[in-house]
């Protein structure tokens, strides 16, 4: 017959499998007390990632596991977005995870915990705190093996890429991504763009989508999208596009 300590240890190992991050508060709700967590750390079953977070001793974890823990063990609203979300869904097969930027989006007023910020995940993590799109709309679950992650669907992800240009993302690369998005859904894009608070994003999207010539663009109602007034210089010294009142790089205009 298993002892109480054996049963508790088995429960811990079930709750904190290899490659996963477990939050102290979450373990506590599953009857692995803070005292017991410290005991498992002393006896070599758990390793601390900083105050409030653990991993299985001797196992590697990455930023995706850490974000998954925040999403599934708390009510944190952060999600993987932009190019990261597109890559996870196979739209950027040439992308390498090692050394690439991990794009994380969250509403204003939210932040990542200290233990997350201070880890060396092997990737640069770029956090965007913004309400330019409605919280939760166009976000779905991604699963691979034991990892469960909330990420932007392609319709939201390309808008997040446009939000990051030109400071954190290249406009021409963004257009090449748009060219590959042949199956976007107008039923999701339409409300996202109608609720979008960024004039820059809306104008760039309409310009690039029209330029790419995808079939779905025909089922899109641009008249219901407020694109604001006045000119927007996305880059200095660019080519002016009068239909959308934006200035874009010459390389993009000539594609």
Which pLDDT does position 112 carry in this prediction?
A: 97
- What is the pLDDT confidence band of residue 237, given thresholds at 50, 70 and 90? confident
Residues recorded for the chain = 255
Report how far residue 161's alpha carbon sits from residue 9's, in angstroms, rounded to the nearest whole number: 44
pLDDT at 1 > cutoff 50: no
Residue 46 burial (C-beta neighbours within 10 Å; 0-12, 13-18, 19+): buried
What is the tens place of the pLDDT at every residue in 155-204? 999 999 999 999 999 999 999 999 999 999 999 999 999 999 999 999 99
What is the tens place of the pLDDT at every residue in 31-57? 999 999 999 999 999 999 999 999 999
**For 74-131, where are the alpha helices, taking DSSP H only?**
82-88, 114-117
What is the tens place of the pLDDT at every residue in 68-91? 999 999 999 999 999 999 999 988
Which pLDDT does position 99 carry in this prediction?
A: 53
Cα–Cα distances in Å, from 90 out to 57, 61, 142, 183? 32, 22, 12, 13
Q: How many CB atoms lie within 10 A of CB 251?
A: 13
Q: How many CB atoms lie within 10 A of CB 115?
A: 18
What is the tens place of the pLDDT at every residue in 96-112? 444 589 999 999 999 99
How far the first Cα of the chain sits from its last, in Å, is 71
pLDDT at 206 > cutoff 70: yes
What is the tens place of the pLDDT at every residue in 137-149? 999 999 988 889 9
Shortest CA distance to 206 belongs to which of 178, 234, 238, 168? 178
């Amino acid at each position: 017959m298993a002892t109480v300590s054996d049963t508790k240890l088995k429960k811990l190992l079930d709750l904190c499998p290899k490659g996963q991050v477990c939050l102290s508060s979450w373990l506590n709700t599953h009857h692995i007390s803070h005292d017991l967590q410290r005991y498992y750390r002393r006896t070599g079953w758990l390793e601390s990632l900083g105050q409030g977070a653990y991993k299985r001793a001797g196992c590697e974890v990455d930023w995706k596991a850490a974000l998954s823990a925040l999403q599934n063990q708390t009510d944190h609203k952060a999600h993987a977005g932009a190019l990261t979300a597109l890559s996870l869904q196979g739209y950027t097969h040439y992308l390498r995870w090692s050394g690439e930027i991990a794009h994380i989006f969250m509403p204003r007023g939210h932040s990542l915990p200290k233990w997350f910020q201070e880890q060396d995940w092997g990737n640069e993590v770029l956090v965007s705190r913004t309400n330019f799109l409605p919280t939760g709309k166009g976000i779905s679950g991604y699963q691979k093996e034991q990892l469960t992650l909330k990420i932007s669907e392609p319709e939201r992800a390309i808008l997040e890429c446009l939000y990051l240009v030109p400071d954190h993302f290249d406009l021409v690369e963004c257009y090449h991504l748009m060219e590959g998005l042949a199956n976007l859904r107008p039923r999701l894009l339409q409300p996202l763009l109608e609720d979008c608070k960024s004039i820059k994003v809306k104008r760039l999207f309409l310009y690039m989508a029209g330029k790419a010539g995808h079939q779905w663009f025909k089922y899109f109602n641009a008249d219901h999208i407020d694109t604001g007034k006045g000119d927007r210089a996305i880059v200095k010294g660019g080519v002016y596009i009068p239909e959308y009142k934006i200035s874009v790089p010459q390389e993009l205009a000539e594609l």
